Amino acid sequence: MSDVNSNTQQPYNHANEQPTTVRPVMQPDNPYASTRGSIMTKQLPAFDEAMINKYNRSGPRYTSYPTALEFSPMPEGLETKILQNREARAPLSLYFHIPFCRHLCYYCACNKIITKKNSDSGDYLQYLIKEIKHKRRLLAVPDGSDKPLVKQLHLGGGTPTFLSDEEMVQLWAFLQTQFEFLPEDEGDYSIEIDPRELSGETLKVLRNLGFNRVSLGVQDLDETVQIAVNRVHSAELIENVLTEARGLGFHSINIDLIYGLPHQTPDTLDKTVRRIIEMSPDRLSVFNYAHLPERFKAQRQIKEEDLPDPAAKLTMLGNTINTLSEAGYQYIGIDHFAKPDDELAVAQREGKLHRNFQGYTIMGDCDLLGFGVSSISQIANANTRYILQNDTDLQAYQASIDAAQSNPAVMPAVKVIKTSIKDRLREYVIMNLLCHDYIDFKDVNQKFGIDAITYFIEEIQQLGAMQEDKLIDMDAAGIRVLPKGRLLGRNVAMVFDEYLDKKHKNRFSKVI
Ligand code: SF4
């Protein structure tokens, strides 16, 4: 939400397709699973202003590696082959993008359509259903079953609850005819909620359908800030929604906050954070607002002079980390916190945490299948993983689904990244740093048939300065991110990013 998910197409570097030095001697079922197996004790991040100022620079959020900047146009027929060749036994994670919002939040950097026309969602739902049918016919099913298994599902936006309760029931009922779902609460079925956009029945309807996790967009509770970003709601409304969700049995309730918004001060944000802690969400995302009005039209409504200066933003971040840590929340990484008994925190301590386009997740063994305008899929075929994106323009997306009705060869994805084994190696290293603050060289050697110290000798040399500054610790066994470096995990990961050069420098926001 606060950072840049660029859709800019960049030419794919085919030179990376044929690795010369990386041998996949062991293909893990779970691509980021570490062989360490031991329970990890997580250290709290140490807020060091001098280090943040020294190392903070623009960088990706690594919901994938390579990042979305490496998309190239989709060759004809490739999406069909990718879906047909998918490993039938790999469970699925489904993502549905609902692009509609009734009000414009001025900080918004999402792919959304502002509309008050309720019928827009009904029309869109019919396109989603056609797209599901169209893709589903290509998917093989595992032995002994007649439908592919869905372990994870997420509705994002936009505002997913722009769909009426009846439309949500219709979507869910159709999905049951196409996919197998896990029994009560064994799966991870979640939805983003705008607390202002709920009917009296919506939460009950969602819970009865099988959703078990919600994420509430709050951002800030201060009225002056809310007015400045055009997103006004009371703390009581948030508390009531959260209480109702908990009463209905939703677990892992997440709240999104943003620091760096107009008129925010360390004091006002501190009040918001403390009030939110009283509500006791299981997870918190605290995003950094990146003001990029030249790229995101909505942000032109925000006056630059109303924004807190960099020093105030750093104070807000430091205070927020301290307050959340004192309240018992575990820092997961990047902008995420969770209670120690939340499954994300448990997975991190057990070395089983993953990261993909849905952020931090415990479902790293799933292929991600996206539906709707701009949605992203991530699908493994043997040793290769493909990242695909549907058209980001609603009319173009709908036209592709219309065309597919008479021509089954037409598919909605317009961009693709084919990851090489070299990419998979770097992805593994980057995701381990971001999920577990650690790279185990022996583990990397075993999985990829390399000598990690020799292979990454330049990166290790580059990390020397961070070691001197005590952000990381390196020895013959591996690289460990130290408490002072935890907030700069993305900066450590960037050292291993082969694509990160000057051509992309200005496409990302600052890490902190
Ligand atoms: S609700 Fe989300 S997607 Fe919609 S305008 Fe606000 S920030 Fe953007």
What tens digit of pLDDT does each residue of 167-216 get? 999 999 999 999 999 987 899 999 999 999 888 899 999 999 999 999 99
| Ligand 1 atom 6, closest CA | 105
Specify the pLDDT at position 512: 61
**What number of other Cβ atoms are within 10 A of residue 6's Cβ?**
17
- For ligand 1, what atom is nearest to the CA of residue 157? 3
Residue scoring higher pLDDT (257 or 197): 257
* Residue-level pLDDT at 262: 98
Kindly compute the dihedral angle of the four CA atoms of residues 215, 213, 147, 385, in this order, to the nearest 10 degrees. 50
Q: Is the pLDDT of residue 85 over 60?
A: yes
Residue 365 C-alpha to ligand 1 middle, in angstroms?
A: 30
Q: Is the pLDDT of residue 158 over 50?
A: yes
Please, are residues 1 and 430 in contact by the beta-carbon 8 Å criterion? no
**Range 51-74 burial, b when 16+ CB lie within 10 A, else e:** bbeebbebbbbbbbbbbbbbbeeb
Region 231-260 average pLDDT: 96
| Residue type present at position 45 | P
User: For residue 40, how far is the Cα from the chain centroid?
Assistant: 23
State pTM to two decimals.
0.89
- Residue with CA closest to ligand 1 atom 7: 108
pLDDT (0 to 100) of residue 9: 23
Give the three-state DSSP class for 419: strand
Q: Residue 503 pLDDT more than 70?
A: no
Task: For ligand 1, pick from 110, 219, 301, 302 the residue to mutate: most ligand atoms within 8 Å of CB.
Answer: 110
Question: Rounded to an integer, what distance in angstroms lies between the CA atom of residue 276 and that of residue 220?
Answer: 9
503: tokens are 């051509």
Q: Shortest CA distance to 27 belongs to which of 424, 406, 328, 366?
A: 424
| Per-residue confidence (pLDDT) for residue 47, from 0 to 100 | 84
Place of tokens 């995003």: 287
Q: What is the mean pLDDT of the chain?
A: 89
Look at residue 139 in the predicted model and tell me its pLDDT.
96
Nearest to 66 by CA among 116, 14, 107, 108: 14
Cα 318 from Cα 46, distance rounded (Å) = 9
Atom number in ligand 1 closest to CA 107: 7
Q: Establish whether residue 447 lines the binding site of ligand 1, counting it when its CB lies within 6 angstroms of any ligand atom.
A: no
**Ligand 1 pocket test target in 5, 98, 100, 159 with most atoms within 8 Å of CB:** 159
Question: How many Cα atoms occupy the beta-carbon half-sphere of 143 within 13 Å?
Answer: 0
CA distances to 163, 171, 281 from 178, rounded to whole Å, are 20, 11, 33
Residue 435: DSSP 8-state: H
Q: What local confidence, expressed as pLDDT, does residue 53 receive? A: 86
